[in-house]
Amino acid sequence: MSMDDEVAVLLEVLDAGFPRVETMTGAEARGAVRARYRAPENPEPVARIEERTVPGPAGDVPVRIYHPAGEIESPCPIVVFAHGGGFVFCDLDTHDGLCRAAANGIGAVVVSVDYRLAPESPWPAAAEDVYAVLCWASAQREALGGDRLVVAGDSAGGNLAAVTALMARDRSGPAVAAQVLLYPVIGADFGTQSYTEFATGHYNTRAAMRWYWDQYVPNETDRAHHYAGPLHAEDLSALPPAVVVTAGCDPLRSEGDDYANALAEQGVPVTHRRYDGAIHGFMTLPLDLAERARSQAWTDIRDITS
């Protein structure tokens, strides 16, 4: 599969700069990734941002709430967002730009969740935190200025969004209008076609993904639970409509594609966009392709929640 020319130019820099997390402890990897973070000088403006905490299963969960700029529909969607980072690193700051863009692009209130991280807090801690914030957002709809709920996330956060949708169905609520899964981590099968084809040399690696799973779900038996690997769920019916984005040159492509197909086969409305020339994480990179993909995703989310 040919890589987008713009992505190929950036790939060498990305591969050279990203730490070999599989050689580190969780704390070391977290520190290495955090050291690479540079806050943008001119972040995309939104109407306002709130920092607060939400009651969670093991204490308060920090959240950052983005209110969109400009004229918006009222009440608007409320997007509960889970950031990526292999379940081990990243935070509210690393995904601030994506959340700002989503709030303005969708015309939605975005609630970004600073969930507990592995390995200190292994599975299912992160998923339970995101579900707790979803329940809080449901109870606070009027105060937030929204009505219909959306769960969204990228990479590991895509896993948490998919799992939160399953939890909400299994636990009789709250009702979720849509799930948005951006190149999600869906299962721990490291022998898929895309894992084989893109094991190394394409930014995200098979070695790193094995390590992420070892940190988050160290007991391999637990990985078969659908709250860990949603692709293992036998029943995907009655789940909310899904927007699924996958990247062609990503070890996770196969599982993301398979999950989109499995949802559709069980009657869930699915909008699946696969960007064949893209790599994992591309929607947060400074690329024209990323701009196009984000714009399309915001349109798809507006359409699926209207």
What per-residue confidence (pLDDT) applies to 181?
Answer: 99
What per-residue confidence (pLDDT) applies to 156?
Answer: 98
List, edge to edge, every strand of the sheet that includes 242-247: 48-56, 59-67, 109-113, 76-82, 146-154, 178-182, 242-247, 270-275
What per-residue confidence (pLDDT) applies to 74?
Answer: 87
Considering the entire predicted model, what is its pTM? 0.98
What per-residue confidence (pLDDT) applies to 17?
Answer: 87
What per-residue confidence (pLDDT) applies to 72?
Answer: 85
Q: Smallest Cα–Cα separation from 101: which of 154, 148, 155?
A: 154
What per-residue confidence (pLDDT) applies to 107?
Answer: 97
Give 10-residue mean pLDDT values along the chain (306 residues). 90 90 97 92 96 98 97 92 98 98 98 98 98 98 96 98 98 98 98 97 97 98 98 97 98 98 98 98 96 98 96
Q: Report the CATH number at residue 34.
A: 3.40.50.1820
* Strand locations in 34-145 (E): 48-56, 59-67, 76-82, 109-113
What per-residue confidence (pLDDT) applies to 4?
Answer: 93
Number of domains in the chain: 1
The residues annotated with a catalytic role in the active site are 155
Q: Which two tokens stand for residue 275?
A: 């960007």
Give me the domain span that covers residue 209.
Answer: 5-305
DSSP character string of 79-100: EEEE--STTTS--TTTTHHHHH
